[in-house]
Amino acid sequence: MVICDSSTLIHLSAIGRLHLLRDLYHRLTVPPAVWREVVEQGSGRPEIVEIEAARREGWIDVQPAANAPLLLSLKHDLDDGEAEVITLAVEHQAQLVLLDESEARRIAATFELRKTGAVGVLIRAKLEGRIDRLSTELDRLRREGGFWIDDRLYLQALQAVGEGEP
């Protein structure tokens, strides 16, 4: 099971790369809070149509978390979507969680959850030959997706795929 937070969905969709999530992971699970944030609260954004279509096609599934005490505890430090993602991942021993926010990633690590985010998805896509240039996609993520990437992370990502200076 691969469980995804809203940021990864929103930002990859904004640059026309939502399909990479299907190509790389085949199926995604999102908790209800993520679905509400992305689709219901994001209505009117053009990329929402593609995300709704992915659910109709069956490769994005919405599934609630059941562990109420853990969920409540996580909501002290995280937003609802991130708390539900981590709770669902713990409950199902998820293969991977897709999270971009640093505090959510830190907390996921305390549960020993394997994690990546939008940048990691693009790195894997580049390494597997699914995109031509990581730098182009990261620039689009910044410019078109409104995604903040630390300059150091940007350079490390490029180096990881052989596009940056050693």
* CA–CA dist 26, 75 (Å, integer): 29
For the CA atoms of 64, 24, 103, 145, the dihedral, rounded to the nearest 10 degrees, stands at -100
Task: Indicate the burial class of 24 (C-beta count within 10 angstroms; 0-12, 13-18, 19 or more).
Answer: middle
Residue with tokens 């999530």: 21
| Per-residue pLDDT tens listing for the chain (166 residues) | 999 999 999 999 999 999 999 999 999 999 999 999 999 887 778 788 899 999 999 999 999 999 999 999 999 999 999 999 999 999 999 999 999 999 999 999 999 999 999 999 999 999 999 999 999 999 999 999 889 999 999 999 999 999 976 5
pLDDT confidence of residue 166: 56
The residue written with tokens 């999102």 in the block is: 30
Q: Return d(Cα 90, Cα 67) in angstroms, integer.
A: 9
Domains of the chain in sequence order: 2-117 (3.40.50.1010), 119-160 (no CATH)
pTM over 0.75: yes
CB 30 within 8 A of CB 3: yes
Strand partners, 52: none
Give CA separation, 16 vs 137, 141, 147, in Å: 10, 10, 14
